[in-house]
Homo-oligomer: A and B are copies of this chain.
Amino acid sequence: MRRFVGLLNMLKISQRANKVIASPVRKFLPLMLAAEKRGVKVFKLNVGNPNIAPPPLLLKTIKNYQPLSLDYAPSPGIREHVAAWVLYYKKLKINLKSENIIPTVGGAEAILLSVMAVTDPGDELIVFEPFYASYKGFAAMAGFKLVPVTLRVDNDFALPAAAEIEKKITRKTKAIIVINPNNPTGTVWGKKESQIIIDIANKNNLFVISDETYREIVFEQKPSSILNLPAAKNCAIVVDSASKRFSCPGARIGCIASFNNEIMAAVLKFAMIRLSAPTLEQYGLIPLLKNSTNYTEKITAEYKKRRDAVFNALQKMPGVICQKPQGAFYIIAKLPVDNAENFVKFMLMEFSYNKKTVIVTPAENFYMTPGLGRNEIRIAYVLSVKELKEAMEVLRKGLEKYKAKKQ
């Protein structure tokens, strides 16, 4: 027995596994469940799971799947599915060939295979903080280092001057990663910002990994891609996903798109190792990719109403600072509290208003630089306008109570 205990102490998991922090979005789950157990209704504004049904055609197409077999899809994707992506991009005025697109297991796998195609362990990637927290996990998995360029809520998360970004480039830098429209900020960078980033990349021989998961969910402009810029042709790798634009994250279908043939050859080799993306969902998404705008315009109009409801309510809360998001379905709000994590715990453990409370995500983990975002939260507006209005009222009451308690 003693010997066995000794062994237990020696058998060690990897450092990369130790490095991964538990998801900031999911770590308050136990507290949330406890609140619900006490009979408190929790408005869930923490997870970016769209609460809108996907187009009925998705499940209908899957249910009409005729073969009796369920074979591997080809590693570079089912031909008709890839052709549907080609058509989808053509409507954005981007003329990709089928060999420029490889379907992936959601946007998540698209990120993993992209970063593996451009980095080796020890390399660096420039990222704008706050950013999608999973990038930290992918960095730990693939062994590269994220180097942050800080954006600030008080400055509308605006892109800093090129010189500020170039200061971060070292001999180990391989790429700049952007997410546009942005999770967690809701910012949308236009042609001007994208051109600045592409110019920096081309000047310094870097790739640009452009995560465009939320492409269609933009409130003040038309959907576009970094691939619309001619200068992006060689350096840009687009990470894409069907999850948000068709409200079907459980389908696990995304893609990597790039005009760079070397990148596509590298991604294809990785894709062969993991064999294939799910067969049924590739079929199911064919008609939606061929004709996407009907649906995406409808949900974008809905998200815009939600954005307005949340933003207007936050604007009226004393001491809260936020910027009007232009896309995706998130907003970052700076709160008049010392520590947003404590506030989130307070909301789940101590507070309720008419037997209701709210769960949001503390923003600190969306940053790399220690201390940043400590008094900020991310709200995912994935409830109806009516519920969001009520949730904002509960949040306002919670903030008041929290401040009173602290004084």
Contacts and interface: CB of A to CB of B under 8 A. Distances in A.
Interface in A1-41: 4, 7-8, 10-11, 13-18, 20-23, 26
Interface in A172-203: 174, 202
Nearest to A262: B13
Given A59-B65, A68-B53, A109 B10 contact: no
Contact of A105 (B14, B249, B252): B252
A251 interface: yes
Contact of A278 (B17, B270, B281): B281
Contact of A20 (B47, B65, B270): B270
Nearest to A202: B7
A16 B116 contact: yes
A17 B121 contact: no
A53 B26 CA distance: 39
Nearest to A63: B63
A321 interface: no
Contact of A277 (B16, B65, B252): B252
B116 A14 contact: yes
Interface residues on A, range: 35 or more
B205 A112 contact: no
A1 to B, nearest CB: 13
A372 interface: no
A25 to B, nearest CB: 9
Interface string A130-159: 000010011001110000000000000000
Contacts of A138: 273
Interface of A: 4, 7-8, 10-11, 13-18, 20-23, 26, 47, 49, 51, 53-54, 56, 58-59, 62-63, 65, 68-73, 75, 105-106, 108-109, 112, 116-123, 134, 137-138, 141-143, 174, 202, 205-207, 234-235, 247-252, 260, 262-263, 266, 269-270, 272-281
16 contacts: A4-B234, A14-B117, A20-B269, A20-B273, A23-B273, A49-B72, A62-B63, A69-B247, A70-B249, A105-B252, A116-B141, A121-B121, A121-B122, A251-B280, A252-B275, A278-B278
